[in-house]
Amino acid sequence: MPGKRIEINFEVYDSIGELSPEDAFLLESARAQTANAYAPYSNFCVGATARLVNGELVSGTNQENASFPAGICAERVLMSTASGLYPGVGIKTMAISYLNKNGHSDHPISPCGICRQSFAEFQIRTGQSIRLILSGQSGQIFIMQDAVDLLPLMFNAEDMK
C-alpha cells in the first residue's frame, strides 16, 4: 500500500536580532510575560503575546492549579482573553516563550496538543491563520506561518456533521 508523508515548514532564526522590529517586539513581550505566569508546581512559566488583526495586543500566561490538571496554558488564556475583549477578531501573530526555572530556556518549544486543537478552532472561527513565533528566553527562534501546521489531520466540527 502506498504511503503518504506529512511535512511542516518553518523558518529558523539564530537570535532575536534577526527578526523584524514587529516580531522582535512581540517576542520580547512574550518573554517578559513569563514573569506573570502562575507556575508554583512545575516552575515552567509560559508567556504569550499576540497582535490581533485589528492591531490590538493581547497577552496571556499559564495558570497552574493544585487540582492538577485544572490549569490552563498561556496560549489558551490569550485566545480566551482575545475572544472576550474582541469577539470574532482574528489573531495575526502570536509569540510564545517560556522560562524553565528548573533548567534551560534557550531553545524553542512547541504548544501542547490541546493548544494546537484550540488554535485550529480559533482559526476556523475567525477565518484568520495564526502565525506563530516560538522561542525560549534566548537561542533559536522558529516561525510558523500557520498554527494548523502543528496539527496535521486535525479533527474539527465538520467531522461531526
Domains in the chain with CATH codes: 12-152 (3.40.140.10)
**Strand locations in the chain (E):** 11-13, 44-52, 57-61, 91-100, 131-135, 141-144
Residue 72 has a pLDDT of: 96
Amino acid at 34: T
Question: What is the average pLDDT value for the chain, to the nearest integer?
Answer: 95
Residue 104 has a pLDDT of: 95
Query: Residue 157, Cα to own-chain centre: how many angstroms?
Result: 22
Residue 144 has a pLDDT of: 97
> In 10 A of CB 67, how many CB atoms?
7
List, for residues 14-42, the tens digit of each pLDDT value. 999 999 999 999 999 999 999 999 999 99
pTM over 0.85: yes
CA 83 – CA 68 distance, rounded (Å): 25
HSE on the CB side for 20, CA within 13 Å? 6
User: In the numeric block, which cell numbers belong to residue 114?
Assistant: 490541546
CA 38 – CA 116 distance, rounded (Å): 21
Give the CA angle between residues 88, 22, 154 to the nearest 5°. 45
Residue 90 has a pLDDT of: 98
List, for residues 57-113, the tens digit of each pLDDT value. 999 999 999 887 789 999 999 999 999 999 999 999 999 999 999 999 999 999 999
CA 26 – CA 47 distance, rounded (Å): 11
Instruction: List the catalytic residues.
Output: 75
